[in-house]
Amino acid sequence: MQTAVQITAAEGRGAGAPVPAAVAGASGYAGGELLALLARHPFVSVACLMALATDGKESMSIEAAHPKLRGRFRAACEPLEAARIAAAGAEVVFLATPHEASLEVVPALLELGLRVVDLSGAFRLKEAAAYARWYGFEHKAAAALAESVYGLPEFEAPAIRRGRLVANPGCYPTSVILALAPLLRAGWADRSAGIVADSKSGATGAGRKPTEKLHFPEVNENLRAYSLFHHRHVPEMLQALELSEGDFTFTPHLLPITRGILSTVYARLAGVHTAEEVERLYRQAYAEAPMVRVYPAGTLPEIQGVAGTQFADIGFALDAPTRRLIVVSALDNLGKGAAGQAVQNFNLMWGFPQETGLL
């Protein structure tokens, strides 16, 4: 029988036993965020922690990787293996791993009857061929890919509820799709005029591996645009928004901050609309979405309003005479852009209110 390894278990809070969960990739930034959220979730108990690399040792202390979590977990990180996860009694597995690792372990996890929330890009694109172009590898887990569900709760809730494998969206795509989907679904955007998404992200979005590009003095007091026209998150946005490549330009930038994404999205309306109508469109689209906050016309979200939270905030400005619309969306790349969204997906999968443990 499994036991929770976190010190403050949620036992007794809910009716029935908490859901035992495994977290793989626990030593990374998204993994640490997940652990912090799960330790506070009333209906989850963390059954095991797994790290990709345990420095050749049998296990690795979680507090070496995440000083904030010192004293919060009894267990150390073990090497990632499907069998260990099953043995620990986990029913759900959160994979905060690189896509290579997810590709390898997911089929085995499904085989063992576990449900998976995968934070990597390994199962987000419907067409296997897209992986060759954008990721540079041949996708061989066709069966898993076929059954994977794109885990954007605001638009895919029914499929997520019954999903066995939920592909948690990327941080940039979450930010851009939430900003554009209501507009595009309503047919209000003039696609031929082109849509530009200029996004700016904090450095944790680039992961924990030290590189010269992420060396402190190279990021601090700097701003850098990168991967122009060919960022891996582009196909995910095209797929979700049903846009063609020539009509949609996405540019990511590296901000000298730890966490948070702000996307400034430019579109032209196809018809004439007032700011009130645009606001109503967004409010209706997100009426049932507890983790999206729509701002009143003329008020714009900022990164500070979402950093450390699990919300995505959406605001806009309209120049009605010229039909130019700018939508600004903000979220925490480790929150709604990663761990928070993963927990929201978990909540849907197990029938809890979406916001459980996220406020």
74 is a contact residue toward its own copies (CB under 8 A):
no
321 is a contact residue toward its own copies (CB under 8 A):
yes
Report the alpha-carbon distance of residue 58 to residue 263 in Å, rounded. Answer: 42
Burial pattern 219-243, b for ≥16 Cβ within 10 A else e, equals beeeeeeeeeeebbbbbbbbbbbeb
Report the alpha-carbon distance of residue 269 to residue 249 in Å, rounded. Answer: 17
242 is a contact residue toward its own copies (CB under 8 A):
no
Residues 174-193 touching its own copies, rule: CB under 8 A, are 193
297 is a contact residue toward its own copies (CB under 8 A):
no
The one catalytic residue in 23, 77, 166, 171 is 171
Determine which residue in the list 175, 204, 347, 354 makes contact with its own copies, applying CB under 8 A. 204
77 is a contact residue toward its own copies (CB under 8 A):
no
Q: With residue 82 as reference, give the H or E element that holds it.
A: helix 82-87
Interhelix angle 153-162/171-185, rounded to 10 degrees, is 110
Decide the pairing of beta strands 115-118 and 165-167: parallel
Nearer to its own copies, 104 or 134 (CB): 134
167 is a contact residue toward its own copies (CB under 8 A):
no
Q: Is 61 exposed, middle or buried (0-12, 13-18, 19+ CB in 10 A)?
A: middle
Residues 125-164 touching its own copies, rule: CB under 8 A, are none
For the question of residue 171 being annotated catalytic, the response is yes
Determine which residue in the list 111, 223, 276, 284 makes contact with its own copies, applying CB under 8 A. 223
Q: How many residues bind its own copies (CB under 8 A)?
A: 75
Determine which residue in the list 87, 143, 146, 228 makes contact with its own copies, applying CB under 8 A. 228
41 is a contact residue toward its own copies (CB under 8 A):
no
Report the alpha-carbon distance of residue 204 to residue 278 in Å, rounded. Answer: 33
From the CB of 151, what's the least distance to its own copies, in Å? 23
56 is a contact residue toward its own copies (CB under 8 A):
no
Identify whether the C-beta of residue 170 lies closer than 8 Å to the C-beta of residue 337. Answer: yes
Nearer to its own copies, 149 or 312 (CB): 312
280 is a contact residue toward its own copies (CB under 8 A):
no
Residues 328-357 touching its own copies, rule: CB under 8 A, are 328, 355
Report the alpha-carbon distance of residue 283 to residue 51 in Å, rounded. Answer: 41
Residues designated as active site: 171
